[in-house]
Structures are given as C-alpha cells and as structure tokens.
Structure 1
C-alpha cells in the first residue's frame, strides 16, 4: 500500500528543534531550552506542583503541545521515536522546580523509563533534601499486548497518557498537594485502556520508505513507533464491523489475556478517539460517530467525548480508541466521578489540547424527521400537453447507455481529475449517472414525458451530484426543459429535431449567463458548445456530425491552456506534456458518444 514518504523540512536532523521553535512561536507563554530540547512555561507558578513529561518526538501534539496552564509545566523531547537522555531530563527537572514538588509522567517504554528514572535518581543524589519531592508515574494503557506477552515489560503507553496529563495537571493548577496530584495520576493511569488500528505504518523522515501492509489489509494493535500489531484483517471491514472488535479488546472481561479493566455492564466512561496522524477530518468524524454508536449499543454511558490528534505516530493513517473507566463509588483511594469530570473540563491554554464539550453527547435522534414540503422550484408545473420523443423506447435506452458509460469511465475520469483538478469529477458523474438509472427504474424518466424527465435529471444533478459539475448540468437541463416548453404548442406532442435544436441553443445561451467559460476554455463547455452549434445548423441530419465534433473538442482539451474551470489552477505546460484531457469535457464526450450509438 502506498503511503506518504515525502516531507516539508530543512533536514531530518533539524526537524525536532525546528518544530519546537514553531510551537513556541504559537504560544509566547512558552520557552525553549534549545540545547536540551525542553519546552516549559516561561513564568510558571512555583507555588503549585509541576508536571514534567516527555519522550521521543513524532507524537505531536504530545508531548510539548500539552505544555501550558492546567496541563504540563514542561516536556523533554528526544529525536523522532527516541528517548531524550538523562542530562536533558535533569535540565527539565531544574527548569520546572518549585516549592511543592514535581510529578514526572512517562509512557511505558524502556528508554523513557530508564532515562527519566536515571535523571530522577541523579537529581535526588544531588539534592537529598528534595528527594521526596519528585514522584514518578508510568502509564501503560495498550490492550493489544496480552498479559502473558507483557508479563515483564508491561503494556505500552499510548494516547490514554494525555488523560493522565490533563486530569493531574488540572488538579495541580487548582493547588493540589504533591501526594494528591500523584495519587490522581496513578488512579487515571490504572483506569484507562487503549487500542489502535492502522491502514499502514508511518514513514520516519530520513529513512528508506517501505510498505508493510497490502491494499486490502489493516493492522490492529499497532504501536506508535511503527511496532507491528497483534493481528491483521483482510479485506478492510466497514467501521460498523471493525469498531465492535476494537471495543471488545477494551471492555471484555472474558479474555484472560486482555481483561485489564473491571467492566461490568452499564459502565460509565470518558471516550477519547485519537487520530494517529494521517486520517482525514471527514473520515475521522465518521469514526467518532461509529465508536459512540457502538458503545451505546453495549449500554455503556459516555460522559465526555474527546476527539482529535492527541498522540500521533507521525503520519500514520490510523486511529486509537481510549476508554477511561469512571468510578461508580468513591473511597479513600478512588476519586469522585464529578471531580474527574470537572478536572477534565477545566480550561487550558496548551496549544495541543483540543476543544471538548463539558457535557455528555446529546441523545441520538433515531425517529424519522417529518416530511418536508417541496419548495415551489421543485414542484412540476401542470402541463396541458405531455411532450414525447419520436421514439420513446430509444430515448430511454440511449440515456441508459450514456449513464452506464459514465459509470464505466469513472476510473479514467478520476485519473484525469487527480492530475488536472481536485480528483472528484469521476465519482461525481458516476453518482449522478447511477441516480438517473434509479429514476428510470422507478418510472420517473420516460420517453412519453420529455419535460418531466429532463426536470428530474436536472434535480438529480443538483441534489445528488452537487458541486460545480452538478450545478452546471442542472442549469443546462433546467434551461433545456424550459426551451422545449416554449417551442411547442398544445396541439403538438412529439418533439422534432428542429425543436430539439432550438431548445438546445436556448439552454446553452442560459448556461452562458452563469459561467464565463467559452470555447476553447478547457472545460465541459468545449464539447457541449461544439455539439449544440453543429447540431442546430441542420437538426434533421447533423446529430452524428455534431457528436463527432464534440468528441474532437474534448480530445482537443489535451492541448489547450485552461482559461476557466478546475484546470485553471494547474500549470498548463504540465497538462499538455502529460496529454491530460479536461475531466468535465471527457464526461460530456462519454455521454454524447453513447447517445449516438
């Protein structure tokens, strides 16, 4: 499977420091020790407990992005996927030193534990009077690593770690004592579970690119340093099938290897859905919705939903799900549920913390909405005479041929549009064609009612296709329907080639009032105008000649510099060199060719 292996950077070696400098430019309340790659609050409140974290870079916004009021006081950053050394961490401890003490929070990776632990012990040896004022919390929330496999090394630290940062940091901001902050960090750490899934591994700048998964595979349980997961699935299942499998890993108490949290049914949770770096916002929204849906089906009560990029793996196309199992009772060692939620809701100015609602998600509305009255523009005006084709059966067959041809041509038109536009033209035309075919099957398009059929096609273009192409097609077909009605008398019921010609000319004229494109412009107007202008010169015998002219005009867009449309923003010489036709023009060509056959 292909994946992103190109990057915007000066050099791979300078990337981490360059990124930290950019972070501090975003938030002037932060300061950077460049030599040690330590980001810290420039003027911290030294009467409050400090939180220090860190680890390898490449997980942004973790860790430095969470430095700010109400979360972290400082973060020590290593190179990509590499722990910072102990001297860097010691400098970090010095920079956040305060009157009440420091809690160090690290993910459960050997390098982080050793280097942060060594720095803590060295600090204690240098400052024996302060030895008890530095606490150490290790977070391991990955459920993909079974109990047997992780018997010695334990579970890896994943995105759940940021919930530890946030809740402990908010308590520190409120003035909690060192022991209180440490205790709540430990409690959160013991109450979270995370599982990740990816379409592919990520690419580390400066390394050789290689693909790990095939186009049909996904991997469950991948680590955030490109570690392989515990299983692969093929083919890629829909979210409705995938998410329940992931949730089962998080909540099942029947699996002796992965029963890490005491879920009992009707549990209460905080949900964190984390983008691992390479998932589009569009897809990610669908993931969040599906996770929420699956949890509610299980009877799990969601008190908060957090979603976004919290702990990434560079550009990994994947996501992780974290559940924080909330307490149903309180005791000396268990905090109140209300306290946990209020600490999570406390505001922070850390650049990496994502907006979240301080309330549970709203109930899902499942009942059908009340029927909406059609607007006047969607109501067909009663006509005293239905206009029919000279050959109604052939009329329908020709539309079916054109629509099927568009469906078949989708991949080729998409290929053109990836180069010459925004990549959606093929799918837009295919979607419209399939919707028109459905209308034919429903009996809404028929050769005995041309005006009604063309209005239906216009509505499909508007409502189903959408975008620029949909608007252009809808305007043209609406104008064509108008043209037919104005050219026919009540006594006439069959549309002749001459009437078609007049209606087509009228439709093209109306289209020109809404677009500046005129042939040659490297747009769908080129073949459309070539067809209309040729056909109207002699409607009775020029149909085939007009189609051939449209085909030539579409082919000719390969050598035309774009003056309008999607290709106007693409460097013209490159399109000519690659001999890429305009995708919209090619769609018109496909339609007209199949109308001719």
Structure 2
C-alpha cells in the first residue's frame, strides 16, 4: 500500500489537525473528532458528517452559509453517538439544530440517537436524510437509496436558509424539498484502498467499470465494459432524469464530482458532455460545479448530481458562503467562437514527388509503431511520444484531401502548420520548424530535383537544431537526423541514384539511433534521468529512422 500516511489508526486525527491548521475560522472540538466554526452564531445550527474518506466532505464544508459543525468517524465508519451529541451541544443555540445525514444505516442510527438524546436535554434537534442515489431501486420496504455527492448541495440550501434567520421547522422544510429535488449517480474506473485494509475493496479488469457504485468502496449495481466518456455521461444522466422525472423546460443545478483520483481533464470532458446532453433535452442548467466535493478516498471515477430549481432554491445556492472546500456555482456560457487568425500564403513553387504515397507510408509506419515508441518513451521520458506521433499521423491522413500535393513548398508548409497544432509538446514545434524551413528552401530553389530535396532536408534539420538548441551527441532525434541528412547529400553528390542515396540515409539514421543507447542525455526529459537511460535507444531518434525508412521504400523504390 502506497499512501502518504503514518499509521492507519492515526489517519483521522492527523487529517483533521492538518485541515484546521490551514483553515482560519475553524476549530477542533477538544477530545472529539468534530470540526466546528471558531465563533458560535445565533439561529439554527447545521451539523453533518459520516465516516472519513469522503474529504473534502464533510469537514471541508464547515463555514458561514454552510455547516456549523461536521462530525467525522474512522474511515468509512459512522461517528459515534457520543461524538454527534458533543457536536450538537457545542453549536446548538436557542433555535436548535438540524442534522443532515446520508442514508446509511450506521449514520442514521448514531445521528438519530444523538438527536433523541439532545431532545431529552431540552435541545431542539431535527434530522433529514439525503437519499439521492438513483442507481438503486430499493422499493418502498427497503432501506432506500444511499446518500452520495448531492448531499453537498443540500448543505448549501439549508445553510443559506439558516443564515437567512429561518426557524428550525422552515430550515428543515427547505432541506427536505432540496432532497426531493435531487438525484445522483456515479461510475467508478477503479476501487479505493482503505488505509486499514491495505488493498482495494474490489478489482476491475482494464476494460471494466462499475456503474452506480457507493462511496464506501462497495461495488456498483452492475459491472460493464468501459465506453467512451460521452456514452457513460449520457447513461448516468438518462438514469437520473428518468428516476427524478426531470423533463424539457425544467431548470437544474448540475454537480460534477470527482470520486478521488480523476484528473481535471477528464472532469472537463464529462462536464462538456453533461451540458450538451441536458441542453439537447431542453433542460436549462442554471448553475454548474465541477471538482472534488465528496470522494471515496482514491477511487477513479465521477458522479453526477442534478437538483431541480425554482427561484427560491436558486437564490439559496447563490447566497454567500465560505468554507475550505466550497466554490461558487457558475452559469455555463455558450461556447465562444473566435475568428481564426489569418494565415500567410505560401507560393506554390515546383511540382513535387508523389506526396500522397509518401504521407501515407510515413503515417502508417508511425501508427503501427505507436505501442513500441510509447514503451520506449515510458522508459526514458514521459511516455507520450508514440501517442503524439500516431495522433499527428492520423491528422496527416485526414488532411490529404486538403493539401496542394502537386506543389512541394505549399504541401510542406501546410503539413508544418498541421503538426504544430496537433502534436504539441516538443515534437510539434520541432517537426513544424523542420518542414517550414524545408518548404522555404524548395521555394527558393524553384525546382524539385533530388539535390534540391537534399538541401531542403539539411536546411530543415538545421532549423530544428537551432530551435531546440541541440547538437550531435545530445541523445535526441538529431542523432538520427544529422547523419541521415549528411549521408543523403553526400551520396547524391557522388552520383548515386535517389533510391540508393535514401537507403544510405536510412542506414545512417538507424546507426545514429542505435548509438543513442550509450549516450548521456543532455536535452529533453531524458536529461533528468541521467545514467538511468543507459541501454535505452532514444525514442525520438528511433521514430526518425522509422519514417525515413518508409520514405525510402516509397519514393526511392
């Protein structure tokens, strides 16, 4: 188990201590795992909580306009009745306390018993149960749906109502109405690891997901093959909309929640599709949140929550609030469409060799080599080279109908711009500048003889070296490009045919690439690894040898 912890038994108190020390306005209740506001306020107090492992919920939502206190139990374990009662006593005023509880048996029992004990002491205490998980059909006699990430929106609605000075019955009524308007569902791409257990709660194959999972590491309602993000988002929303009866013309708030280990880029892809699906169904999204609100420790995946809105509930969501984990909801904007920048025109120049066959050959060999180049780059870099070159290759194939294949300078300039846009990273600008300089060289020559192509190749390689600041022996793609360019020009000058000269260039590139295995890296991400790259061929140089070989077989015959 690889976790940044000290002792599994000390995770909860150490986590709470760290949170409070970084959160002005919060305090720890002595002798209890309760986070509360530093200053007691008048009016109805709100308390929520549950087992740890859902951070930032619930302790991260203690603050003005939200919760007055949060009670934390051990990981995925309900806090004790005594801990809840301690929190009630600490924050309750004359107006009483509302407990916001997720629908899990342990939470219902411990929070419910604490409320009963508080009432026996003369404290007005009420409880609402959040059961927003639409994945489960429990029937009228079952325990009911689980409480999951939509609970955070209930905190906000009830918190705003309490801050507005409403009495306990009115705050409870608004919380219950918000719960009735709420539906959620999640999908997991991996299980989570409870520190005390030391291993995941379930296992998934590389091509499997769990639909409708809970937030305590339990499996979902069914296991299914992984699908593109758009399909999964649509599936989740279809279920929520059907279960909650949301229809065209309704107005909603949308919460996109990271279950713990989902990258921001994936959340944004989910957000894009969720907004598109709802808009296509005639449902207006008035507010949207995307981020980490209620997790299952380190589970990869997300959940979606929808809350139907009237003007009053929208005002509650928009009311001022401040807490360590709270962010204001946004009104989604229409996608702005900027005018594309003007592009400089390149003179057509001279007729070119069979460009289409050459492009297809280069693209095919790089796409076929993607797994090998990716594995090579994972050993010495960041692992994206094969993927990037495959993406660029597919873009070149797609662009063939738009290229001026009869004229070398124009075609090379267009390919330069294309690779600049789609490759990214270091490969994008390096290949782009090489092709752009080669385009200018051919345009200046005015012809497309083999010697002109050799000169253009050499000029392009020189431009790449200038831009990247590299040279021979740095263990980069230049260690294949430089000897290949030199061999190509020398063999043509010696009178060899184009095919033989290209063959010599390929052999020089292959030898240069092989030599990188014994070089100390001086450029690129490999330079951070130093001697650890020993024995590994530079993947950029290997890629050069591959596409040069494809060119030689296609153009040289």
C-alpha contact (below 8 Å) 2:254/2:305 kept by paired residues: yes
C-alpha contact (below 8 Å) 2:491/2:504 kept by paired residues: no
1:375 match: 343
2:70 match: 75
C-alpha contact (below 8 Å) 1:387/1:451 kept by paired residues: no
CA RMSD of aligned residues (A): 2.3
C-alpha contact (below 8 Å) 1:52/1:75 kept by paired residues: yes
- Judging changes above 3 Å, is the alpha-carbon distance between structure 1 residues 92 and 468 closer, same or farther for their aligned structure 2 residues? same
**1:362 correspondence with 2:333:** yes
1:203 match: 193
1:400 match: 360
C-alpha contact (below 8 Å) 1:197/1:221 kept by paired residues: yes
**Pairwise CA distance, 1:282:** 1.0
CA distance in 1, matches of 2:68, 2:338: 52
1:216 match: 207
C-alpha contact (below 8 Å) 1:454/1:481 kept by paired residues: yes
Could you tell me which of 398, 412, 432 is aligned with 1:454? 412
C-alpha contact (below 8 Å) 1:439/1:445 kept by paired residues: no
2:11 match: 15
After superposition, where does 1:142-181 map in structure 2 within 5 Å? 142-148=133-139, 151-181=141-171
- Judging changes above 3 Å, is the alpha-carbon distance between structure 1 residues 18 and 583 closer, same or farther for their aligned structure 2 residues? farther
After superposition, where does 1:558-597 map in structure 2 within 5 Å? 558-569=517-528, 571-576=529-534, 579-597=535-553
CA distance in 2, matches of 1:589, 1:298: 51
CA distance in 2, matches of 1:74, 1:345: 21
**1:546 correspondence with 2:505:** yes
C-alpha contact (below 8 Å) 2:521/2:533 kept by paired residues: no
C-alpha contact (below 8 Å) 2:51/2:73 kept by paired residues: yes
CA distance in 1, matches of 2:239, 2:17: 39
**Pairwise CA distance, 1:582:** 2.3
CA distance in 2, matches of 1:471, 1:370: 23
2:216 match: 225
Could you tell me which of 282, 289, 299 is aligned with 1:316? 299
After superposition, where does 1:155-554 map in structure 2 within 5 Å? 155-210=145-200, 211-234=202-225, 236-252=226-242, 259=243, 261-263=244-246, 265-326=248-309, 337-357=310-330, 360-363=331-334, 372=340, 374-376=342-344, 379-383=345-349, 386-388=350-352, 392-393=353-354, 396-440=356-400, 442=401, 444=403, 446=405, 448-486=406-444, 488=445, 493-497=447-451, 499-539=452-492, 540-541=495-496, 542-554=501-513
CA distance in 1, matches of 2:92, 2:399: 71
2:45 match: 50
**Pairwise CA distance, 1:494:** 4.1
Q: SS state of the match for residue 241, structure 1? A: helix
Q: SS state of the match for residue 52, structure 1? A: strand
- What TM-score do you get using the length of structure 2 for normalisation? 0.92
- Judging changes above 3 Å, is the alpha-carbon distance between structure 1 residues 450 and 301 closer, same or farther for their aligned structure 2 residues? closer
1:38 match: 34
- Judging changes above 3 Å, is the alpha-carbon distance between structure 1 residues 348 and 549 closer, same or farther for their aligned structure 2 residues? same
Q: Deviations over 1:364-396 (max 9, x none)?
A: 67xxx69746322xx11254xx144xxx34x65
CA distance in 2, matches of 1:16, 1:587: 50
CA distance in 2, matches of 1:191, 1:40: 28
Counting matched residue pairs gives: 546
- Judging changes above 3 Å, is the alpha-carbon distance between structure 1 residues 246 and 399 closer, same or farther for their aligned structure 2 residues? closer
CA distance in 2, matches of 1:509, 1:268: 59
C-alpha contact (below 8 Å) 1:387/1:495 kept by paired residues: no
Q: Deviations over 1:425-449 (max 9, x none)?
A: 1121112122223334x27263x52
- Judging changes above 3 Å, is the alpha-carbon distance between structure 1 residues 527 and 263 closer, same or farther for their aligned structure 2 residues? closer
**Pairwise CA distance, 1:344:** 0.6
C-alpha contact (below 8 Å) 1:17/1:34 kept by paired residues: no
Q: Deviations over 1:219-271 (max 9, x none)?
A: 2211111222222332x23344333332232222xxxxxx4x45454222222
Q: Deviations over 1:63-84 (max 9, x none)?
A: 0000111101111111111111
**1:65 correspondence with 2:60:** yes
C-alpha contact (below 8 Å) 1:142/1:195 kept by paired residues: yes
C-alpha contact (below 8 Å) 1:307/1:354 kept by paired residues: no
What are the ranges of 5 or more consecutive residues in structure 2 without an aligned counterpart?
none
1:86 match: 81
Q: SS state of the match for residue 410, structure 2? A: helix
**Pairwise CA distance, 1:475:** 0.5
CA distance in 2, matches of 1:429, 1:117: 59
581-590 or 106-115, which moves further after superposition? 581-590
Q: SS state of the match for residue 56, structure 1? A: strand
C-alpha contact (below 8 Å) 1:557/1:581 kept by paired residues: yes
C-alpha contact (below 8 Å) 1:554/1:582 kept by paired residues: yes
**Pairwise CA distance, 1:272:** 1.6
**Pairwise CA distance, 1:588:** 1.1
CA distance in 2, matches of 1:272, 1:494: 59
Q: SS state of the match for residue 18, structure 2? A: helix
**1:138 correspondence with 2:134:** no
